[in-house]
Structure 1
Amino acid sequence: MTNSTRIFLFFSFGYFVSYLYRGVNIGFSGFLIEEIGLSAADLGLLTSLYFLGFALTQIPAGAALDTWGPRKVNGVLVLVAAVGSVIFALSDTMWGLMLGRFVIGVGVAVCLGAAFQAMALTFPTHRLPMINGAVVALGGLGGAVVGTPLSLVLDVITWRTASFWLAALTVMVSLCLLFGAHDTAPLHNRKRPTMGDQLRGTWEIARTRAFWQILLFPSIVAGTFYAVQSLWVKPYLLDVNGLPGATVDGLVSLLGFAAVFGSAASGLVARRVERWGISLYHFCGLLLALFVVTEVLILLDVPLPRAFFWISYGFLGGTNALIYAVLVETFPRHTLGRVGTSFNMLVFFLIFLFQNAVGWVVELWEPISVGVYPAQAHIAAWVILLALQTTAGIWYFASKQPKKLEHL
C-alpha cells in the first residue's frame, strides 16, 4: 500500500469516527431521556455542545495545521475525543454529559479540515473534487451506522459501553495517523505563529468578500443538514409523520448512505460538469438549491414514498463537500488550513445554533407525552431554517464567482 493510499484511508477513518460521534445521540436519545430525564431543549443543548467545542477549536487548530501539518495535529487531537467519550460514558448528570460532548467536539475538531488539507498536499488539484468526495463518502458512513446498526447494537449493549468502545476506536485512529503514514509535501511556513498571528490571519481571510460569498449559503445549508441528521430527523419522522421506530431507524440509515453516495458522486462528476462549461461554483450552488427544494417537498408531505425524499435529502446534503474544491481554486494553498477551519467554525457554530433553536421552537408547544411534540412544532422550526437558506441562496446566485486570491 502506497503512502498516499494510507493517508487517504487513515484520514477517512478519522472522519468516520468523528461522524459517529456527531450522530450517536440519535440512538442514545431515548435512553438519555429515560435515565437522565432530558427535555427536547436539553437534548438539543447536549447534542449541540459537540458542535460548540468543535467550532471554538477552529482558529488555533487552523494555525496549527498550517504550522505542523494535518497528520500530527489530527493524530494528537483525536486523543482528546477519546477522553471525552470516557467522560460521557461515566456521567450520571446532565453536566457530566455536557462536558463529555464538549470535549469530544474539541477532539475531533480537525478531522475533516485536516483530511482536506492532507489531500491538497498529497494529490494534484484536478483530482481534489473526486478525492475529497471520496473522503466525505467513506467518513459519512458514520451517518448510516447511527441508524439501524446502532439501534441493533444498543439492543445488546448499553449506551455507556458503546461510548467506551468509541473511545477505543478513536485511539486506533490516532495510532494510524501518527505511525501509519508520512507527510508527503512541505508546508509553506514551519515557523510557529503566535496567537496574534493566528487571529490576524483568520481575520484577514474572513474580511474578504470571496469568503462570505462562497461560504454563507453552503454553511447555512450544512448547518441545517447536520443539525437535522445528527438529532432532529428521528423526532421529525416520529412526531410529524407518525412512523414506527423500526421504520424511522431504517430511514435514518438510508439518509446516511445517501449522503455517502452524494459526496462520492458529486466529486466524480464535478470536473466533467466543468467541461460542459458549468463552473464548480455554480454546480455546487445548484446542488444546494435542490437540497432546499427537497426540504420544501418534505414539509409539504408530497404524496410520494418518504424514502425517496429522505434519500434525496441525504444525497444532496452530502454534496456540500464540493465547496472545499471551490476554496482550493480561490485561496492560496498555504492558507488552506485556516480557510478550511474558518469555514468549519462557521458551519459548526450554525449547527450548534440551529440544533438548539429547533429544541427551543419545539418546546413552545406543550408535549403530547414525554418526548413527543405536535407536528406543528417541528414544521415551524423547519420553516425558519428554510427561510434562512433561501435568503443566502439568493445572494449566492446573484453574485459573480470570485477570482483567485493571491495576496493573502
Structure 2
Amino acid sequence: MIVRVFLPFAIGYFLSFLLRVVNAVIAPDLVAELDLSAADLGLLTSAFFITFALTQLPLGVLLDRYGPRKVESAFLLLTAAGALLFSWAENFPLLILARGLIGLGVSACMMAAFKAYVSWVPKERLALINGCHLAAGGLGAIAGTAPVEFLSEIMGWRGVFVVLAIMSLCISALIYLIIPRRGEIPASESVSKQIRDYGLVFKSSFFWRIMPFTVMSQAAFFSLQALWSGPWLRDVAGFDRDIVGWGLTLIAISVFVGFLVGGILTDWLRRHNISPITVGFYAMFLCVIPQAFLLIEMNSFLMVSIVWMVFGLLGTGGYLIYPGLSQFFPVHLAGRVNTALNSFVFVVAFVGQWAVGAVIELWPVQASGGYAVEGYQAGIVMLLVAQLLGVGWYYLFPLMMKKIPSA
C-alpha cells in the first residue's frame, strides 16, 4: 500500500505544493522583468487559487464517480501545459492564464489522495496517513525555496518551469500506471444524483460552524506562506536575497514538520477521544499569535526565523479539519465533503492573497524599490481581523442553532 498507493499520490502533492509556493522565490525576477506592481504580483500568484477553487465541486463528483487514479493523472496533464505556458509567456495576461491552468491541474492532488485513503486505510488511521501525505507537500514547500533559487540562478525562472512541466508529465504517468484499479467501478447513481448529494454537506450545521474559521485561517496561511513571506523578509526584515532564500527554507521546513507531527499527534490523541477537528481548531487559533508578532519590528534573523517557523508549524492545523469533517458523513461522500470545504478555502485564499497586495500598494514604494512596511502591517491586520471573526462565529454559532454535533 505504501509503495503502490501512498508514494505516487504523495509525489503528486509534493509537486502541487512546490508550484503553490514557487512564486515567493521568483517574485523579484517577475517584478523586474515584467514591471509588476504589488497588486499585479498578488493577482498573478492568486490566480492559482481561483481556478483551484472553481474546480473543487465538480472534482468531488469526478472523484466519487471515476476514482482518484484516473482523475489526478488527467489533471496533471493540465499542470504540465500550464507550467510550459508559464515558461513561454511574455506578458501579464498569458502569465495569469498559465498560473490559473497550473492551479486547475494540481487541484486534485490533495483531494484525490484523501479519497483514495478512505478506501484503503482504516478510518481510525486516516489522520495519520493524511498527515504523512501532507508532509510530502511540506517537502515540496522546501524544494520550492533554496533549491528553486539555485536552479533559477543556473537556468532562469523560465527554465525552472520547463523542468516543472516535465515533472508533471512524469508524475501523471506514474499515478496512472502504478496505482491499483481497486474501487474504480463506475458509480451506479446518476451524475445529477451525485450533484444533489452535495446538499447533504451544505445542509450540515456542523459544516457551517467550522467552515468560516477554517477558510479564514487557511486563506491567511496561503497568502503569507505562498507569496508574501518572501517580500516581507526582504522589505520589512531587510534581508538580502540569499538570506531571504534561507528564511523561506526554514519556513518550509516548519511546514513539513507541522504536517508530519500533526498527523502523528492526531493519531495519538484519537485514542484519548480527541478528534482531528479539535486539534486543528486550536492549532489555527494559536497561529494568530505569530501573525501578530509580524506587526512588531524585528531586526534579528533568529527572532524573525522563530516567528515565521511557528507560523508555518501551526498554520498546517487547518488541514486536520478535512479528515475530521469527513467522519461526519458516509464514506461514499468523502470526495464531495472535502472538495466542498476546499472550494471555500481557495476562493477566499484567492481574494486574500490579491487583497494583501492591493493593501500594500496603498503606500508609496520605498527608496530601495521595496514595498512599505506600513503596507505589510495593514495587510496582516486585515488577515487577523478575518480570522478573529471566524473564531467568533465558531463560538456563537451554537447559540443560533438548536443542535450542533460535537467535535
What is the TM-score when the length of structure 2 is the normalising length? 0.93
Residues in 1 aligned to 2:186 and 2:312: alpha-carbon distance in whole angstroms: 37
DSSP-derived class of the 2:154 partner: coil
DSSP-derived class of the 1:154 partner: helix
| Residue equivalent to 1:321 | 319
* Aligned counterpart for 1:290 among listed residues 275, 286, 291: 286
Residues in 2 aligned to 1:279 and 1:42: alpha-carbon distance in whole angstroms: 41
| Residue equivalent to 1:58 | 56
> C-alpha offsets along residues 268-313 of structure 1, whole Å, 9 cap, x if unaligned?
1113224445343222211111111221123234787221111111
Judging changes above 3 Å, is the alpha-carbon distance between structure 1 residues 232 and 63 closer, same or farther for their aligned structure 2 residues?
Answer: same
| Residue equivalent to 1:342 | 340
Q: Say yes or no: does 1:250 pair with 2:246.
A: yes
| Residue equivalent to 2:36 | 38
Question: Which residue identity is paired with 1:75?
Answer: S
Question: Which residue identity is paired with 1:308?
Answer: I
Number of aligned pairs?
Answer: 401
Residues in 2 aligned to 1:260 and 1:183: alpha-carbon distance in whole angstroms: 30
Residues in 2 aligned to 1:115 and 1:29: alpha-carbon distance in whole angstroms: 30
What is the RMSD of the two structures over their aligned residues, measured on CA atoms?
2.1
DSSP-derived class of the 1:373 partner: coil
Q: Say yes or no: does 1:92 pair with 2:94.
A: no
Question: Which residue identity is paired with 1:251?
Answer: G
* Aligned counterpart for 1:234 among listed residues 230, 237, 242: 230
Residue 173 of structure 1: CA displacement?
Answer: 1.0
Q: Report if the CA contact (8 A) 1:22-1:50 is conserved.
A: yes
Residue 370 of structure 1: CA displacement?
Answer: 7.1
Specify every segment of 5 or more residues in structure 1 that has no aligned partner in the other structure, as ranges: none
Residue 203 of structure 1: CA displacement?
Answer: 4.2
Q: Report if the CA contact (8 A) 1:238-1:244 is conserved.
A: yes
DSSP-derived class of the 1:261 partner: helix
Residues in 2 aligned to 1:372 and 1:241: alpha-carbon distance in whole angstroms: 11
> C-alpha offsets along residues 170-202 of structure 1, whole Å, 9 cap, x if unaligned?
0111111100121334679344514xx454333
Residues in 2 aligned to 1:4 and 1:188: alpha-carbon distance in whole angstroms: 25
Q: Report if the CA contact (8 A) 2:277-2:325 is conserved.
A: no
DSSP-derived class of the 1:300 partner: coil
Q: Say yes or no: does 1:126 pair with 2:124.
A: yes
Q: Report if the CA contact (8 A) 2:47-2:103 is conserved.
A: yes
Residues in 1 aligned to 2:34 and 2:272: alpha-carbon distance in whole angstroms: 55
Q: Report if the CA contact (8 A) 1:7-1:181 is conserved.
A: yes
Q: Report if the CA contact (8 A) 2:280-2:320 is conserved.
A: yes
* Aligned counterpart for 1:149 among listed residues 140, 147, 150: 147
Q: Report if the CA contact (8 A) 2:67-2:183 is conserved.
A: no
* Aligned counterpart for 2:261 among listed residues 259, 265, 268: 265
| Residue equivalent to 1:374 | 372
| Residue equivalent to 1:388 | 386
Q: Report if the CA contact (8 A) 1:6-1:180 is conserved.
A: yes
Residues in 1 aligned to 2:355 and 2:157: alpha-carbon distance in whole angstroms: 26
Q: Report if the CA contact (8 A) 1:218-1:320 is conserved.
A: yes
Q: Report if the CA contact (8 A) 1:331-1:404 is conserved.
A: no
* Aligned counterpart for 1:19 among listed residues 17, 20, 24: 17
Q: Report if the CA contact (8 A) 2:25-2:230 is conserved.
A: no
* Aligned counterpart for 1:71 among listed residues 69, 72, 79: 69
Question: Which residue identity is paired with 1:9?
Answer: L
When structure 1 is superposed on structure 2, of 362-371 and 87-96 the one drifting more is 362-371
Q: Report if the CA contact (8 A) 1:66-1:187 is conserved.
A: no
Residue 369 of structure 1: CA displacement?
Answer: 4.1
Matches within 5 A, 1:174-193: 174-185=172-183, 189-193=187-191
Residue 7 of structure 1: CA displacement?
Answer: 0.9
Residues in 1 aligned to 2:365 and 2:194: alpha-carbon distance in whole angstroms: 46
Residues in 1 aligned to 2:65 and 2:102: alpha-carbon distance in whole angstroms: 23
Judging changes above 3 Å, is the alpha-carbon distance between structure 1 residues 394 and 59 closer, same or farther for their aligned structure 2 residues?
Answer: same
Question: Which residue identity is paired with 1:403?
Answer: P
* Aligned counterpart for 1:300 among listed residues 296, 303, 306: 296
Residues in 1 aligned to 2:33 and 2:234: alpha-carbon distance in whole angstroms: 20
Residues in 2 aligned to 1:297 and 1:62: alpha-carbon distance in whole angstroms: 38
Residues in 2 aligned to 1:271 and 1:164: alpha-carbon distance in whole angstroms: 39
Residues in 1 aligned to 2:107 and 2:173: alpha-carbon distance in whole angstroms: 17
Q: Report if the CA contact (8 A) 2:127-2:276 is conserved.
A: no
Question: Which residue identity is paired with 2:258?
Answer: G
| Residue equivalent to 2:277 | 281
Specify every segment of 5 or more residues in structure 2 that has no aligned partner in the other structure, as ranges: none
Judging changes above 3 Å, is the alpha-carbon distance between structure 1 residues 164 and 43 closer, same or farther for their aligned structure 2 residues?
Answer: same
Residue 397 of structure 1: CA displacement?
Answer: 4.2
Residues in 2 aligned to 1:220 and 1:342: alpha-carbon distance in whole angstroms: 15
Q: Report if the CA contact (8 A) 1:84-1:100 is conserved.
A: yes
Residue 264 of structure 1: CA displacement?
Answer: 0.9
| Residue equivalent to 1:351 | 349
Q: Say yes or no: does 1:173 pair with 2:171.
A: yes
Q: Which runs of at least 4 in structure 1 moved beyond 4 Å after TM superposition? A: 301-304, 397-402
Residues in 1 aligned to 2:97 and 2:277: alpha-carbon distance in whole angstroms: 39
Judging changes above 3 Å, is the alpha-carbon distance between structure 1 residues 263 and 398 closer, same or farther for their aligned structure 2 residues?
Answer: farther
